[in-house]
Amino acid sequence: MPIARINGTCLGYDEYGTGEPVVMVTGTGAPGRMWRTHQVPALTAAGHRVITLDNRGIPPSDPCPEGFTLADMVADVAGLIEHLGEGACRIVGYSLGAIAVQELLLARPDLVHQAVLMATSGRTDALTAAMTAADLELSDAGGKLPPRFAAYVQALQNLSPRTLNDEERLRDWLAVFEMSAVDMTGVRGQLGLQLVPDRLAAYRNITRRCLVIGFQDDLVVRPHLSREVARSIPGSLYTEIPGCGHYGYLERPAEVNSAITGFFAGRHP
């Protein structure tokens, strides 16, 4: 994995394929490899060079135990694009990563050609505030949930009823969650960054073409929050993927990938 020193921080990233670049920015606690199973193959098959990033706080990128801000994450993405030397890129952001991309669209529109914003929001609602407070409290207490309990909670939060009611699929998901349970203390720096002021009015100044993707059964970022973002960005498109929760890019990858590649190719979802 290449390591780039950007803004005084070492950031890990990976590159796949050739062609016009697509930079992919993950959500809270997620490594860049989360894109490898479904999105990277689809995008490389569509003729894109894909760059996935491990945000600061996620190994092998620097942990930054002193803390950091959303603006730091935005500067990291901008610095990586400049480091690649490709000029304006297409960019995909998911959850917290999408919020960072929205701020990048305002701060450095020269670095972005088109953007896909998945499971995103432009303000903090009551449920997001409560969820974040709980995560911060658990982290600051040094707590680590037992793997089976953590897997159960993760399934309820992030999967759709369609998946929860499919016992064979659910068992597979629970096994993955149990093996990959995240220690919240390890991502402490990212917790709370999604607590943003209402930025919807500011998004009216975004000038790049955007596709906003909501997930119908998302309990973490309810789709009405993503629709608000789409309504705020001039000329943006919105599509909602049915039968999936917050992990919609993994639950319904074919539909998500079709929306992304179609948008980049000039087709409306």
Query: H helices of the chain, where?
Result: 39-45, 70-84, 96-107, 126-140, 147-158, 161-164, 167-179, 223-232, 248-251, 253-264
Question: How many other CB atoms are there within 10 angstroms of residue 179's CB atom?
Answer: 9
Out of 218, 226, 232, 236, the active site residue is 218
CA atoms within 13 A on the CB side of 253: 11
Please tell me the chain's helix, strand, coil percentages from 3-state DSSP, rounded to the nearest 5.
45, 20, 40
Output the six-digit token pair for 80: 């990586």
Verify whether residue 95 is a known catalytic residue: yes
Residue 133: partners with Cβ closer than 8 Å, 6 or more residues away: none
Out of 61, 95, 226, 236, the active site residue is 95
How far, in whole angstroms, is CA 230 from its chain's centroid?
16
Output the six-digit token pair for 189: 């720096």
Burial of 141 (0-12, 13-18, 19+ CB in 10 A): exposed
Question: How many other CB atoms are there within 10 angstroms of residue 16's CB atom?
Answer: 16
Out of 61, 135, 160, 246, the active site residue is 246
CA dihedral 145, 151, 156, 162 (to 10 degrees): 180
Q: If residue 93 lies in a helix (H) or strand (E), which one and from where to where?
A: strand 89-94
The strand pair at 89-94 and 112-118 is best described as: parallel
Would you please indicate which residues are annotated as catalytic (active-site) residues? 95, 218, 246
